[in-house]
A and B are shown apart, each in its own frame.
Chain A
Amino acid sequence: MMETEYGPGRTIPHPVMFRVLDSEAEDTTIPEIRVEHKSEFAYYPGCIDYYDVEMQFSHMNYGDTNHGIIFDSSIKLLRAVGIQPMILDRSFMKCCGHDQLWQGKVDVFERMRDYNTKLIKMLGVKTFITSCAEGYRTFKLDYKLDGVRVVHITQFLYERGLRIPPQPETAKKIRVAFQDPCRSGRQMPLDPVYEEPRELVKRVDNAELVELKTFRADAQCCGVAQMMYCNDKTKGLTASRMDEASDVGADYLLVACPKCLTHFGCLHHENKWKPGEERYAFKVMDVTQFLAERLPGDYPTGSNIDAKRKEPPLPGRRG
């Protein structure tokens, strides 16, 4: 492991991201849509590609945090329960508008909402599956999708009875902690997602579910909701939450929200290069990735990681 003086970066460039996402609302003409596999089950990946691009831009992703794998894992899991979902990808869909709404840009949000609602109705979606906690809340509460059922992917897998095959006997016992996202948990007045991810994790043979110091409705925040900003207070919250995970001796810290993954992964990555930081020895990953890795077979798609970014940059100036 390489030791760097200042570490390889740690945060997310939100103003650039906000400009990119806001600019999506400017043009609301419907493009030509090609959906090869029409289905009443639609999967919406959300902004995970944008997070990946940003994390690589801001020097904090060298192959350990992968948002794109959420897409792959979700497809793999959905196919494991016998569904070939239609992909509502970002070439014709827009951002769900969660960040814009919670930052007070209501007009931007409403443009995105009207556009997305029109498309979802047009494509005849009956079940709208999302792997993002914020998207789940936004599509369920803030959109008015009458006749469309919005589910978080863990809910859908649970009710469809996902089976995890027995793990090989050589696999060692692991302790798994779960971080409850705010948006799909305590900020969801109806149908909060508490039980389903825990039940799914319990179906893995060698995994033992351990609860953090605060959990379910009392769960402490990952530090940053809606990427409002990353400052000293939020970084402290993230650090204290990760300390809870290391206190219970977790091998995996699972999240169900890409933004939790971003912030935990960021701090995890920052401390990984520091000598003598054994307290962050656990892995941080999305619950879908954890489950998909326990299924036989490979992911349907390749990795999202830039092959050039395997190591942190040299300390000091790069010129």
Chain B
Amino acid sequence: MSGLATAPAVAPKPPSVLPSPPADPLVAYYRNVRQMNLALAKERYKQGFKVRTQEYIRGRGTLAIVDEEICMGCTHCFDNCAFEAIDMVDRKFALPEYTYTSRKAIIIEDNCVGCEKCAIVCPVDAITMVTKHGFEVKDGRVVSTTAPPPAPRPAAPMAATPRPVTPLPAARPAPSPTTPPKTEAPPERTETLTAKPPPKPEPKEEAETEESTTESETREEDEG
């Protein structure tokens, strides 16, 4: 009687999980233990997974790499990548007297933006985050090793341009009195400003290639 009396008392709690309340109190006991254990496992597992989000560097200048020996092709990273930077490929493997294919993840480096999502979800730690060329990790942050990052660089030429410009106004007065040479002056400026650094290498390369071609031609001619 006591068992029957307790069963309805217990019943209001389980119905949320289970459709039919058990008549046998012992069954109810085992059922509760079962569900409680499962809830406990889920809770513990969530906490364990949370730790992973703190483990990897992220951001511009980082890249994910896959260790193919560890990767087991679970497609977890593939499913979670928001930038289509991961693809799955089938690799063939051979044991003695037995061949089979195994799936592997590969990173498409052009698309990888260095969000660490794939590394977090990878169940076997096959994906690690590395810095790209020209970046390094300092104090837990990814910084560029090339001296001033790209932002100041455009400023430096801007600062440099006024200096050559200043002599030009001085040069201007001479041609300025004559109205027709005005059209000729701007091309002169551009030449003076830009011609010095960039055009030099170009002619060199051209010259080198020309030389090489001419050399080969001459050699051929000599051989001929």
Identify the A interface with B (CB < 8 A): 6-7, 9-17, 19-20, 23-24, 36-37, 45, 49-50, 52-54, 57-60, 68, 71-72, 75, 79, 84, 87, 89-91, 229-233, 235-237, 239-240, 300-302, 304, 313, 316-319
Roughly how many angstroms separate A91 CA and B36 CA in the complex, as a whole number? Answer: 8
- Range of interface residues on chain B? 35 or more
- Among candidates B40, B75, B100, B102, residue contacting A91 with C-beta atoms closer than 8 Å: B40
The smallest beta-carbon distance between A89 and chain B, in angstroms, is 5
The smallest beta-carbon distance between A279 and chain B, in angstroms, is 12
- Given A16-B52, A19-B48, A90-B40, CB of A230 within 8 Å of CB of B72: yes
- Among candidates A19, A89, A240, residue contacting B51 with C-beta atoms closer than 8 Å: A19
- In the complex, whether B193 has a CB less than 8 A from a CB of chain A is no
- Given A58-B74, A58-B123, A232-B93, CB of A49 within 8 Å of CB of B31: no
* Interface-lining segment among B22-30, B58-66, B167-175, B215-223: B22-30
- Among candidates B34, B41, B82, B84, residue contacting A53 with C-beta atoms closer than 8 Å: B41
- Given A6-B75, A6-B88, A10-B73, CB of A317 within 8 Å of CB of B38: no
Roughly how many angstroms separate A111 CA and B102 CA in the complex, as a whole number? Answer: 38
Chain B residues with Cβ below 8 Å from A304 are 34, 38
The smallest beta-carbon distance between B37 and chain A, in angstroms, is 5
Interface contact B78-A68, CB-CB below 8 Å: no
Roughly how many angstroms separate A317 CA and B103 CA in the complex, as a whole number? Answer: 16
- In the complex, whether B182 has a CB less than 8 A from a CB of chain A is no
Roughly how many angstroms separate A36 CA and B40 CA in the complex, as a whole number? Answer: 19
Interface contact B124-A59, CB-CB below 8 Å: no
Roughly how many angstroms separate A12 CA and B122 CA in the complex, as a whole number? Answer: 10
The smallest beta-carbon distance between A280 and chain B, in angstroms, is 13
**Other A-B pairs, 5, CB within 8 Å; known A6-B88, A23-B47:** A15-B52, A19-B48, A57-B45, A58-B123, A72-B34
Interface contact B72-A235, CB-CB below 8 Å: yes
Roughly how many angstroms separate A50 CA and B51 CA in the complex, as a whole number? Answer: 17
- In the complex, whether B192 has a CB less than 8 A from a CB of chain A is no
Interface contact A9-B93, CB-CB below 8 Å: no
Contact with A along B48-91 (1 / 0, CB 8 A): 11011000000000000000011011111011111010001001
Chain B residues with Cβ below 8 Å from A12 are 123
- In the complex, whether B95 has a CB less than 8 A from a CB of chain A is yes
- Given A87-B30, A230-B124, CB of A313 within 8 Å of CB of B79: yes
Q: Which 6 A-B residue pairs are closest in the complex by CB-CB distance?
A: A13-B123, A49-B41, A20-B48, A301-B34, A301-B31, A19-B48
Roughly how many angstroms separate A198 CA and B216 CA in the complex, as a whole number? Answer: 82
Chain B residues with Cβ below 8 Å from A53 are 38, 41-42, 45
